[in-house]
Structure 1
Amino acid sequence: MSNSSDVAELDPTAWTREPANEPLEINDAALRAVREMIKSGQRTQLVELLKRWDPVDVMQLLTRLRLKQARKLFQWLPANPSIKVIAELRPEFRSILMEESTLEQFRDILAGLDPEDAIEILNEFPDDVADELIARLPDVEDIATRGSYADDTAGRVMARKFVALPETCTAGEAVAQMRAEASRIRKVFTVYVTDADGKLTGTVEVGKLLLAPADAPLSSFMNRDVIAVSTDTDQEEVLRLARKRDMRTVPVVSGEGHLIGRITPKQLTRIASDEANEDMLLMSGVSSEARSDDTVLRIVRGRLPWLLAGLVGASVAATVVGSYEDQLAEAAILAAFIPVTMSMAGNAGLQASAVAVQGIATGALWSGDIFYRLLKELVAALFNGAIAGTILGCLVLVASLIVPLEDPLHLALATSLSLLCVTTLAAMVGATIPIILDKIGIDPAMAIGVFITSSNDVLGVLIFFLMATTFYLG
């Protein structure tokens, strides 16, 4: 918190750190004061004021201003504060603020920085903005190297700042080296150990290093069970590995095994957020590239293919229903159960696929565990379907006491069995499809969207009419 509540009450331009998504009334005075200073063009006074604020508080201020005012204030900020502020903004806010003039400003800033510092800053930007900035820095080879790695890979997000020492280095020398590197590397959790050729051979946690005898060589107490990833490892796989092995940082090595970077805790958190957002969009039938500030054209391009895919599925389901026109004409009551069947099929499929996708994403679903998991899904689906079918059958029998129904016993039997079969089959499809997609290299989250819903709708109505024809109309 940059200022306490007591200070905020005395100074109308003070800011109190706000909890996530929870604006504080105590900051309204500061917000009004800043808006007035922007409106009246008091750039110097406002910049001097915000220099005393923490970048996180400046970020919160920006997100509470109107977009036009936020852009103007951001352009007023000098290089150092603005770089820190941009790192704190969520991707959607960052992309909104990034205009042509601002990109030119950042290009000049990055060109004057040490390549390692510039790369670290670039890692804080959304990928599309980082790519744009890299394209404007063609003469900076080290920075441009970042652009040579594919999107969503370890090479793209890794930090080049780390502490790497030879095996012969003593604990005392390692601590001294860490102190010397303190200004360059703000947070060190792990010291990497390399051989004479610079290849990663071990790691030492900082706590263990501080407790070791000063004259003990790193090779005598380092952890030789080294887990590292290559530059082309997908960032989702990096996150899965870090969670599985409880790693705070993940080393990145070249094809020859040389240590070239690390995935920091901050980057792991960002990867987790990015992957969760991407899965959420895919599960909703929206392109993973969708943003809240997209143009109308981008919105149409991102959503229309999924809507059309859903239209195809719905059309197939309608065709199935139409093919049983004679049965519906003979017993119109069957039409009342079509929404029930489709709803149960969709819900059962979505539930099973959501659990499967979560298991794949977190690494909890192992290859040797797949058969057991599918068996559990089958048994659970049978129980759920039997219970739901029994309830529906009972409701049909109760309804027959109130309204006249032809042959209610067979109608209850047909609807109960159809619900049992639909729920079971939909759950198995929902649990299996994400695993198959993952095996062939397709994001399993795509299965939860239109594909599962549409396929289960078709299967649902088909099974319902087969059961109705067999047990009710037969």
Structure 2
Amino acid sequence: MSKAETMASALPEIVWTREPAQEHLEGNDAALASVRDMIKAGNRQDLLDLLKLWDPTDVMQMLTRLRLKHARKLFKWLPANPSIKVVAELSPEFRSILMEESTLDQFRDILAGLDPEDAIEILNEFPEDAADELIARLPDVEDIATRASYADDTAGRVMARKFVALPEACTAGEAVEQMRAEADRIRKVFTVYVTDTDGRLTGTVEVGKLLLAPADAPLSSIMNRDVISVSADMDQEEVLRLARKRDMRTVPVVGADGHLVGRITPKQLTRIASDEANEDMLLMSGVSAESRPDDTVFRIVRGRLPWLLAGLLGASVAATVVGSYEDQLAEAAILAAFIPVTMSMAGNAGLQASAVAVQGIATGALWSGDIVFRLLKEFLAALLNGTVAGIILGTLVMLASFVVPLEAPLDLALATSLSLLCVTTIAAMVGATIPIILDKIGIDPAMAIGVFITSSNDVLGVLIFFLMATTFYLG
């Protein structure tokens, strides 16, 4: 019989069934009551022996079901290694609630056992004063403390501090020996960094070139002096854009004095790309970039309400435009049937153009010298799309006049066709231009795709439609 089976047979039969998100299973109530009784009775070892048989996710779910004072007591009982896995499963809010003065030392041990990237991610979720207190208790964990000193979403916050840096006078043979010595500390090395006597980055040598070079060749003779580096304060999105543009697998990071302080690895570049894609997706949907699936009701409201109110403002302006043409609608009620068509075409055309613009900015494919040419292409494409859509709508109006009595169907077809042509063209140009302007003034261009483009194009669409209708149909 295995050790786990021996422990299981000696403990009361307490099992936990994995609960779906936001749902509590009644079958777990008995297990919860048993755990609570063991905590009250102080049966620490028996409870820990039981929880060793549980998955960390199940321990996390059980913790969140306990009363706070019991959860804190149990969390203090947990050894550091199991606690690391449990902490990784906890929601940010519950992590912060669990933490009190008496548990800071335990969190210090937990953070010290984590990979620096994961430790920083957890620290980011704590209140600022609590995070500072934890960092102060980590005097021997230089990597975590150094990373935490940089602002969020910067190269310094996400960089890896494990790299191979050697002086220019070092030979290729010595560099290879150094790489072998560092193999256990640094798993993957693609580039060896070369520094001067003051530790400033002066060049790079690819591993393949290093292995093929004569053993006695100094690094200064084989290194690439055209080195591209980023500052530790550079935004991670700019780092990703540079890496893609220059086809860089790793990106060296330097401090204000030019000293090499870290590198952005392929794994970290992938993580940045994922983070930025998720952020852009949220912004495009009109949701705060800080939103998370486990947000509280208050945080959900705080993150979404401003965008909804902005959309309400845009819709109110569009409604005001429609109301100002009340007499025209009373004179020709048929015009009301085309308002949704116009607003839909304006919104779709604007979203399509802005999505392409945002993608081009994010990937670095949209260059400053290319902007005029891109806008011209968007204009011609929008003009063609609007022409086709306008002809189709005008044809449908004429066909409908044979079935439904319409007053001046030819004038109505002309008015609706021209309005669709103008709306599609203008909306596309707005959608293509606004992200570029926002990017130039330092605002995330993904914000343009959400409520802003939709609302502005709705207003423009309605206004243009009634101007065309007044001129060509009611004039």
Tell me the TM-score normalized by structure 2.
0.81
Query: Cα gap change, 1:151/1:124 in structure 2, threshold over 3 Å: closer, same or farther?
Result: closer
Query: Cα gap change, 1:106/1:397 in structure 2, threshold over 3 Å: closer, same or farther?
Result: farther
**Mapping 1:239-388, distance limit 5 Å:** 239-388=240-389
The aligned residue for residue 448 of structure 2 is 447
**How far off is 1:295 after superposition?**
2.0
| 2:102 matches 1:101 | no
Query: Cα gap change, 1:94/1:171 in structure 2, threshold over 3 Å: closer, same or farther?
Result: farther
- Comparing 173-182 and 221-230, the one that deviates more: 173-182
CA distance, structure 1, for counterparts of residue 82 and residue 219 of structure 2: 39
CA distance, structure 2, for counterparts of residue 115 and residue 270 of structure 1: 22
CA distance, structure 2, for counterparts of residue 161 and residue 105 of structure 1: 33
Task: Give the one of 110, 116, 127 matched to 2:124.
Answer: 127
**Mapping 1:4-403, distance limit 5 Å:** 43-45=47-49, 68=65, 78-80=79-81, 82-83=83-84, 94-95=91-92, 98-101=95-98, 107-108=104-105, 111=108, 119-125=116-122, 127-129=124-126, 132-138=130-136, 140=138, 142=142, 143-403=144-404
Q: Deviations over 1:234-264 (max 9, x none)?
A: 1100111111122222111012211011122
Tell whether the 8 Å contact from 1:110 to 1:118 is kept in structure 2 after alignment: no
Tell whether the 8 Å contact from 1:120 to 1:160 is kept in structure 2 after alignment: no
Mark the runs of 5 or more structure 2 residues left unpaired by the alignment: 1-7, 9-17, 19-27, 36-45
CA distance, structure 1, for counterparts of residue 126 and residue 374 of structure 2: 42
Q: Deviations over 1:76-130 (max 9, x none)?
A: 764235546766x6xxx65266244368798536745998977444244373349
**How far off is 1:158 after superposition?**
1.7
CA distance, structure 1, for counterparts of residue 269 and residue 439 of structure 2: 21
CA distance, structure 1, for counterparts of residue 228 and residue 433 of structure 2: 30
Percentage identity across aligned positions? 74
CA distance, structure 1, for counterparts of residue 47 and residue 113 of structure 2: 32
Tell whether the 8 Å contact from 2:435 to 2:448 is kept in structure 1 after alignment: yes
The aligned residue for residue 461 of structure 1 is 462
Q: CA RMSD in A?
A: 3.4
Query: Cα gap change, 1:351/1:179 in structure 2, threshold over 3 Å: closer, same or farther?
Result: same
1:416 maps to amino acid = S
**How far off is 1:48 after superposition?**
5.1
CA distance, structure 2, for counterparts of residue 334 and residue 315 of structure 1: 19
- Comparing 454-463 and 281-290, the one that deviates more: 281-290
Q: Deviations over 1:257-290 (max 9, x none)?
A: 1101112222222211211111111111111111
How many residues get paired?
A: 435
Query: Cα gap change, 1:48/1:117 in structure 2, threshold over 3 Å: closer, same or farther?
Result: closer
**How far off is 1:390 after superposition?**
0.7
The aligned residue for residue 436 of structure 2 is 435
Query: Cα gap change, 1:301/1:149 in structure 2, threshold over 3 Å: closer, same or farther?
Result: same
Tell me the TM-score normalized by structure 1.
0.82
Tell whether the 8 Å contact from 1:393 to 1:415 is kept in structure 2 after alignment: yes
The aligned residue for residue 411 of structure 1 is 412
**How far off is 1:214 after superposition?**
2.5
Tell whether the 8 Å contact from 1:386 to 1:420 is kept in structure 2 after alignment: yes
CA distance, structure 1, for counterparts of residue 241 and residue 409 of structure 2: 53
Please tell me whether Structure 1 or Structure 2 has the larger radius of gyration of its CA atoms: 2
